[in-house]
């Protein structure tokens, strides 16, 4: 059905990334060699346990977490980690603290959980972004009430790349305005930023943080929730008491080691490289007729959301795919159900803008040549489709 | 060796056939064998003019489930086979009837015996009487009712004795492949798979054709049509799907013809292309899921205009069905869940804002004459892709 004469240009890294050779190698080693159950008393078990501990240390250091007061809870991925964070906290909140603050542009694995707790009687404040898609710390501070028990915000938005300013140390500022010890728990969904933007949970006042392996060239089916040990979580599943009983089940050793290897393989200058590519893509896109950018200029270095007014994103997507360029319409996890993106809707964009929006997302393996080639193909596709679709 | 189960296969309509009854029966045997292929130690046999299956008892539910989907079967009667000895027959019948009563709550029964092997010491009426007595004494709450029994306890005595009292209804119809071959216009909707299934049940062999407008429609829409074909193959054994891209045709219509004629003109092209597929595959007719009045293009006038495009007969088994009835069949045959998935196989870009409901053939033909009809059809046909789906298997691209 496709004539992919061109070389493949994958620009959908916010959906998922190809697994890097380092991760594959680490996983092979784990599958063939470190097959022991970390809970087993014998040497094979101990070997596996040691390797998990080493990986946890890598991740704690990556987010500048205190290695004694913080811990890594491995999960099946970002969705589970977000669920565990929100439901784990909410289930233990006192009657007087049942107010949750989050935003209208969160990933559905946050939004849907919060709305579920709303149905169970919690109060929920959904912060609305500005037209750039950005939520400001000031907005959050304004929304905080004495009853607020949990704040959950994403670091980088998966559809627009808008960044929440964690550097503003929300929790620190909350401490100065609010004279009490039991501050709300602060959860950050960092699925899109982990490995790309600097994270410092101590300086940023983060209690819980979600990360996922398959967005950083690691395998699917593994992620983690960082927990400040002072925060109590009610488990979602029950079992053999692994990971302190908060997330029981035999640990996914190959997944964990694959994630660690993928993280270690990320280049140090990743953000700079991505930023250069993004600028190049941005320039190219705005030079195409009928294109409007939906991402903030100061957004994350790997995501651009753009509308091709007059076209339908899905048609453009398939046309690009035919030429070997892979992008996303809406957010890939749920673009099957064809509802308009809740994120772009929250930005207050017109239907024409939303219906024609595509997301381009880059990785450290994307080259400048890829970008130039992609721009050429996108320009051609937009023009030729425009001849049919912009007629009426 | 494990205990053997046995099922009598009731074949209904075929028994009315005259001289060519053998042809129908043999095809049915082949289809039935195909359906249970892969289950170990299953035997499908014909004896004394009746059809049977023998299998290991632990496989019974799988055998019955797979056999039920074979067209031409009216009912399956699972039972047990024992040595031709009255004590053993009585014991087996008691077990069977006890289970049936517990499962269904039925109590009024009648025994029917057939003694083909006259060496057996009791006559048929004697067997009935004696077995009835045993069952009454061994299973509590039973009642003999020779006029309106809720169930029959059947005993057949040949070299072995067979006892059965359950009857599982099947789809009926005629053995698949005994009534010629037709091309089914298969979309991702609810109707066309049902139309194909109904024709297949009458013994018509199917070859499907599917139209798309990639890249204006997604590959997932095509995958959905393939899933529907796979589900049809569960009944037919296998099915071939020819996919044809209509994009160039739709673009040409859009650029050259009145907007409100988009649907009817595309439809005529689809019919013409389906006819090409039919000629190529040796099919003698077309099948569509059309249904009078369902959408604007499915009026008598609309159907007349699309019909006029082809020479082969066009079968529309759903023509007078209500949507609810169609949905019910779709649920029974397992296509409904797939059909309602949200991938459209027809691009909304080409959906006109208004549609002619009473097209006139001469107007439509006049519009069509503005197009290079032959060239468009030839190019679309040459770009076709063919896939074959086997029952319970993943698809493999067909090799030419």
Q: Do B348 and A312 touch (CB under 8 A)?
A: yes
**Residue B116, pLDDT score:** 86
CATH number of A9-19+268-389: 3.90.1150.10
CATH 3.10.129.10 fits A21-265, yes or no: no
Cβ under 8 Å to B: A residues 192-211: none
Domain boundaries, chain A: 9-19+268-389, 21-265
Per residue in B122-132, pLDDT (tens digit) is 999 999 999 99
Contact B117, B158 (CB under 8 A): yes
Calpha distance B245→B345 (Å, rounded):
11
For the record, the structure tokens of A72 come out as: 């890594």
Cβ under 8 Å to A: B residues 233-252: 243, 251
Cβ neighbours of B349 in A, within 8 Å:
312, 315, 388-389
Calpha distance B11→B46 (Å, rounded):
12
Highest mean pLDDT among A340-344, B26-30, B115-119: B26-30
The half-sphere exposure of A321 on its side-chain side, counting CA atoms within 13 A, is 19
Residues 6+ apart with CB under 8 A from B239: B206, B207, B208, B229, B232, B233, B388, B389
A390 near B CB under 8 A: no
Residues 6+ apart with CB under 8 A from A32: none
Q: Do A318 and B220 touch (CB under 8 A)?
A: no
- Least CB-CB distance to A322: which of B215, B243, B254? B215
Q: In A219-346, at which residue ranges do the beta strands (DSSP E only) sit?
A: 223-228, 291-293, 303-308, 325-326
Residues 6+ apart with CB under 8 A from A344: A159, A160, A294, A305, A353, A354, A357
**Residue B385, pLDDT score:** 95
**Residue A179, pLDDT score:** 64
**Residue B347, pLDDT score:** 56
**Residue B297, pLDDT score:** 74
Of the candidates A306, A216, A294, A155, the residue with the CA atom closest to the CA atom of residue A13 = A216
Cβ neighbours of A317 in B, within 8 Å:
215
**Residue B20, pLDDT score:** 84
Asked, colleague to colleague, whether A9-19+268-389 and A21-265 share their fold, the answer is no
Per residue in B360-392, pLDDT (tens digit) is 999 999 999 999 999 999 999 999 999 999 876
Per residue in B155-182, pLDDT (tens digit) is 999 888 999 999 999 999 999 999 999 9
The nearest CA of chain B is from the CA of A384 a distance in Å of: 12
Q: Which residues of A are catalytic?
A: 333
Chain A residue with minimal CA distance to B217? A315
Cβ under 8 Å to B: A residues 286-315: 312, 314-315
CA Rg value for chain B: 27
Chain A residue with minimal CA distance to B344? A338
Q: Do B342 and A336 touch (CB under 8 A)?
A: yes
Cβ neighbours of B342 in A, within 8 Å:
336-338
**Residue A2, pLDDT score:** 43
Q: Do A1 and B214 touch (CB under 8 A)?
A: yes
Residue indicated by tokens 């941005």: A282
Calpha distance A132→A129 (Å, rounded):
7
Cβ neighbours of B347 in A, within 8 Å:
315
**Residue B117, pLDDT score:** 86
**Treating both helix axes as pointing N-terminal to C-terminal, what angle do A78-90 and A108-119 enclose, rounded to 10 degrees?**
30
Calpha distance B133→A222 (Å, rounded):
67
Calpha distance A117→A112 (Å, rounded):
9
Report whether pLDDT(B209) > 60.
yes
CATH number of B4-169: 3.30.2130.30
Q: Do A314 and B218 touch (CB under 8 A)?
A: yes
A387 near B CB under 8 A: no
Chain B residue with minimal CA distance to A337? B342
Calpha distance B61→B228 (Å, rounded):
25
> Per mean pLDDT, which range of A58-62, A169-173, B204-208, B229-233 is the poorest?
A169-173
Chain A residue with minimal CA distance to B247? A388
At residue B395 the predicted structure's pLDDT band, cuts being 50, 70 and 90, is: very low
Q: Give the mean pLDDT of chain B.
A: 90
| A-B contacts (CB, under 8 Å) | 32
Q: What is the mean pLDDT of residues B276-302?
A: 91
At residue B398 the predicted structure's pLDDT band, cuts being 50, 70 and 90, is: very low
Using DSSP, state whether B30 is helix, strand or coil: helix
A319 near B CB under 8 A: yes
Where chain A has pLDDT below 70, the residues are: 1-6, 179-181, 330-339, 391-392
Tell me the CATH number of domain B181-397, given options 2.60.120.10, 3.40.190.10, 3.40.50.620, 2.60.120.380.
Answer: 3.40.50.620
The secondary element (H helix, E strand) that includes residue B283 is none
Cβ neighbours of B214 in A, within 8 Å:
1, 318, 322
The nearest CA of chain B is from the CA of A318 a distance in Å of: 5
**Treating both helix axes as pointing N-terminal to C-terminal, what angle do A21-32 and A253-265 enclose, rounded to 10 degrees?**
150
A270 near B CB under 8 A: no
Instruction: Please report the sign of the dihedral spanned by the C-alpha atoms of residue A195, residue A201, residue A202, residue A204.
Output: positive
Q: What separation, in Å, do the N-terminal and C-terminal C-alpha atoms of chain A show?
A: 28
CATH code 3.30.2130.30 region(s) in chain B: 4-169
Instruction: Please report the sign of the dihedral spanned by the C-alpha atoms of residue B373, residue B378, residue B384, residue B389.
Output: positive
Chain B residue with minimal CA distance to A3? B215
Q: What is the mean pLDDT of residues B96-107?
A: 92
Integer angstrom CA distances of residue A185 from A14, A100, A127, A199, A214: 27, 10, 17, 17, 27
- Mutation target vs A (from B349, B354, B380, B387; most A CBs, 10 A cutoff): B349
Q: Do B216 and A315 touch (CB under 8 A)?
A: yes
Using DSSP, state whether B43 is helix, strand or coil: strand
Cβ neighbours of A1 in B, within 8 Å:
214, 219, 222, 243, 385
Cβ neighbours of B220 in A, within 8 Å:
336
Contact B79, B166 (CB under 8 A): yes
Residues 6+ apart with CB under 8 A from B385: A1, B242, B243, B397
At residue B345 the predicted structure's pLDDT band, cuts being 50, 70 and 90, is: low
B65 near A CB under 8 A: no
């Amino acid at each position: 059905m496709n004539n992919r004469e061109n070389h493949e240009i994958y620009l959908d890294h916010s959906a998922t990334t190809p697994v890097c050779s380092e991760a594959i190698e680490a996983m092979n080693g784990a599958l063939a060699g470190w097959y022991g159950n970390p809970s087993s008393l014998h040497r094979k078990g101990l070997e596996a346990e040691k390797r998990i501990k080493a990986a946890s240390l890598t991740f704690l250091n990556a987010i500048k977490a205190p290695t004694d007061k913080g811990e890594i809870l491995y999960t099946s991925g970002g969705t589970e980690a977000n669920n565990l964070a929100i439901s784990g906290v909410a289930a233990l909140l006192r009657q007087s603290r049942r107010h949750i603050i989050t935003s209208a542009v969160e990933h559905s694995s946050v939004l849907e959980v919060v709305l579920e707790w709303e149905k169970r009687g919690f109060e929920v404040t959904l912060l609305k972004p500005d037209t750039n898609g950005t939520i400001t710390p000031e907005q959050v501070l304004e929304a905080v009430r004495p009853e607020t028990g949990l704040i959950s915000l994403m670091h980088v938005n998966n559809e627009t790349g808008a960044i929440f300013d964690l550097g503003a140390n929300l929790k620190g500022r909350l401490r100065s305005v609010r004279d009490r010890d039991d501050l709300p728990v602060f959860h950050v969904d960092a699925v899109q930023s982990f490995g790309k933007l600097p994270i410092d949970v101590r300086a940023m006042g983060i209690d819980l943080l979600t990360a996922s392996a398959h967005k950083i060239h690691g395998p699917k089916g593994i992620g983690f929730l960082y927990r400040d040990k002072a925060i109590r979580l009610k488990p979602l599943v029950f079992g053999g008491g692994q990971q302190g009983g908060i997330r029981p089940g035999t640990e996914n050793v190959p997944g964990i080691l694959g994630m660690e290897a993928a993280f270690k393989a990320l280049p140090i200058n990743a953000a700079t490289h991505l930023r250069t590519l993004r600028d190049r893509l941005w320039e190219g896109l705005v030079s195409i007729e009928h294109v409007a950018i939906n991402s903030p200029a100061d957004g994350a270095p790997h995501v651009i959301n753009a509308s091709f007014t007059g076209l339908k994103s899905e048609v453009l997507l398939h046309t690009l795919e035919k030429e070997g360029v892979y992008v996303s319409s809406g957010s890939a996890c749920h673009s099957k159900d064809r509802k308009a993106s809740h994120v772009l809707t929250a930005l207050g964009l017109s239907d024409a803008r939303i219906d024609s929006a595509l997301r381009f997302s880059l990785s450290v393996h994307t080259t400048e040549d890829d970008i130039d080639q992609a721009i050429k193909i996108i320009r051609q596709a937009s023009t030729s489709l425009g001849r049919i679709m912009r007629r009426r | 060796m494990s205990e053997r189960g046995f099922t009598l296969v009731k074949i209904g309509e075929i028994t009315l056939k005259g001289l060519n009854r053998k042809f129908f029966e043999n095809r049915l045997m082949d289809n039935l064998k195909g359906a249970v292929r892969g289950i170990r130690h299953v035997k499908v046999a014909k004896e004394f003019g009746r059809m049977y299956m023998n299998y290991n008892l632990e496989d019974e539910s799988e055998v019955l489930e797979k056999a039920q989907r074979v067209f031409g079967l009216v009912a399956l009667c699972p039972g047990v086979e024992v040595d031709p000895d009255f004590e053993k027959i009585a014991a087996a019948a008691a077990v069977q009837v006890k289970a049936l009563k517990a499962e269904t709550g039925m109590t009024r029964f009648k025994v029917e015996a057939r003694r083909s092997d006259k060496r057996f010491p009791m006559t048929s009426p004697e067997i009935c009487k004696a077995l009835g007595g045993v069952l009454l004494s061994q299973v509590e709450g039973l009642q003999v009712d020779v006029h309106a029994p809720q169930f029959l306890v059947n005993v057949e005595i040949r070299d072995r004795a067979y006892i059965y009292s359950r009857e599982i209804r099947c789809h009926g119809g005629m053995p698949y492949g005994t009534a010629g071959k037709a091309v089914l216009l298969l979309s991702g909707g609810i109707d066309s798979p049902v139309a194909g299934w109904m024709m297949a049940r009458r013994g018509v062999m199917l070859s499907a054709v599917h139209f798309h407008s990639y890249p204006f429609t997604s590959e997932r829409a095509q995958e959905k049509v393939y899933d529907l074909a796979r589900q049809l193959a569960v009944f037919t054994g296998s099915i071939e799907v020819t996919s044809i891209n209509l994009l160039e045709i739709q673009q040409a219509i859009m650029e050259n013809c009145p907007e409100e004629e988009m649907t009817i003109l595309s439809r005529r092209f689809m019919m013409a292309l389906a006819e090409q597929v039919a000629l190529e595959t040796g099919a003698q007719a077309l099948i569509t899921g059309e249904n009078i009045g369902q959408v604007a293009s499915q009026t008598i006038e609309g159907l007349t205009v699309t019909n006029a495009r082809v020479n082969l007969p066009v079968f529309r088994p759903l023509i007078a069905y209500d949507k609810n009835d169609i949905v019910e069949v779709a649920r029974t045959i397992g296509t409904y869940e797939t059909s309602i998935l949200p991938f459209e196989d027809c691009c909304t870009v080409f959906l006109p804002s208004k549609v002619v409901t009473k097209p006139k053939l001469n107007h439509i033909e006049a519009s069509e004459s503005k197009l290079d009809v032959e060239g468009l059809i030839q190019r679309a046909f040459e770009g076709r892709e063919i896939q074959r789906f086997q029952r319970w298997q993943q698809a493999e691209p067909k090799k030419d």
